[in-house]
Structure 1
């Protein structure tokens, strides 16, 4: 791509993929970090509960608490608590009386002081796991009753500080980073392949040139459909008129031919009245009128003689108007009777052109009002009638020219404002 030229379509595809990969990678890294934190927390809760239950079920604990004074109980239980704290990831083991007085603690100076935390459920014979602030700071701890002969004689609290939980998350960060880097690498490769594939198709053409190519195709397509319908309609009427003439029913044959001429002439007169009108768009309207009659849709076209010619090229103008009419015809034909499409060309403030295309269809659901303009989105099935290109192309062309597209309801109306062509 030459310096200073517009970004090619391939470059834009590459950058779009790269941006999507970056966003997805960051989101995944955040989600994995949150998942790691939740996992560490769940494991900490499970470990504290398991250790507290194991200690509470040790016969020597109940025996020590019931054997004599608090001092003798501490002498027998503190070594057990220290050994467990040394051999497990538990940060503290506190065995306490039913009054909540500590018999063991990581800091011997805290022995004999009240336990800081909830003990009510344990006194009732139930277990409890909570987050609370104690002498070692915030922690996750489980409190389990020590039961002897059906009575609660003491309680055991085993806990892990939140700092220890956080260190466990830190240990998993290399895994998270590795996953994020791997995803970024795969995404970068995909972006490069997408850019290379686009370059093979579009070369170094700027994105605007690719859009112009699509617009040209859409213009040819919609004009072709209009001319086919017009040719088919005239052919049918001519065959009918000839048959009537052969049967000697001259007046009916003349009536059919006259009606055909009158309907076309009315639209021709409106088009011709616009001194600044686009003849290509006029030809399109004539063909679309025939296409509407072919599909059983009532056609109404109102063209204000004062409506200016838009700043669009004939190809883009046909693409915009043709796609809007195609969309309206599809909606009207699929909707309930009476079926109709109305096209209006009128002047807008500031020398602009307003094009309104309304249909009698069932309308656009609120949740789809923005999605219908997205590339590749279509409410129609895939295939010739389900291109997913039309409205996206319309918005792209209109906004590139400095205009705008709006959608109204009751009836469904696409309103386009285009800058007028400077003389």
Structure 2
């Protein structure tokens, strides 16, 4: 059977903004706490004041009862002398009145002379006979008062009278107000301060929560966790102190970290990723497509600072395995080579077909046969030469495609005699090495097409003799301006100004690959014009102590 869902308590209160609810709760708690403290201090002072008045009144009554002049006057029933002594004593003390009676409780002195000779009020039965001292509170002949009564003894220890010291309740109430009013003012001031602090605290919470409700924050956190988990790239967020604030499943998987990810939160990034320089140094600086090494894994990393206004909250680093990028790069390179080869072949075939069609129409069959055989021998000769000189088939295929491309552009690509390549550097695979050579040749082609002078020749020299692999590419193009030579290998820097978003990547990648292997790059002017790029890449990488260490692939 369908049941109505229970309504949540205090619906109106739950509809209020969270910071306002916090403010009201703190305010209510403060009011209750201050009320309880006020009640406690008030009751404590009431007990203290009552006890203090009783002790003070009893001490004063006993002092008066022990006065020799009082004792003598009571024995003699000298009311005038008692009045003189009582008035003198009352002027030096703070009690409201004193009454002195004989052993039968008949007043011998009273502030109101008309009451002298009348019985005293509220005497405890047998008190005079037993010599007891006691307190009574109630209506007296003067008014509502707290009285201390004590007997008067003669020299033989016989009770001859009684002394009654009275403190009016109105006077005691005035003392109580003298204490309570300042205390109440202090509590009111404290309440106002707490209200102000509560409001400041609630405003601080609102600022920290960016005006969102807890349920909204929970939704954002769950959304962030879902986004982090769904991203294929590794994601790690760190604070300015280098401690991990977030890490997704892909990052843990690539870095070889165990799950769950919460156990890594709050830990220094240096304990999780080595080396950790990319996460800790200059994290306010944005970095893109940086080749790095995390826990022995070669990655392509990006870094973006996290800010709240002008405050730096940390940085988030995204990275992807370089092997995946290399695979994609290889596929794209092959597709590009196929496209260029098809374009070249298409143009050549169109020209060939036109030429052959004309010769056949003129019935120059011998010329047609010679033309076909000559071109076939030239193509096969180039293929055989590349196979003999370059052992890596991907590099050989690249150079064959570049030669066809140069021919299509009206350029000539020459491989310098003596070139050979039997062994690639251990830090580079075929795809990366081909990317270096291909980017150098592409730049040389563009530079050669940018000028009218020059012989339109691009020269390539490859050699793996000795301990280094040498790559030299020379052109007679426009050259590199002196102002750009220091930063030509930075990302986004190019000698071309048209379509800047499409350039400045090739030389940056070349520098990244060569730098990773510990190689060097030189840039010189070619004669009579143009540029000569020279790359020297060690076959194996050397450590700082001189020992040989194979470069991670």
Greater helix percent: which structure?
1
TM-score by length of 1: 0.50
Structure with greater Cα Rg:
2
If asked which structure has higher relative contact order (CA below 8 Å, sep 6+), I would say 1
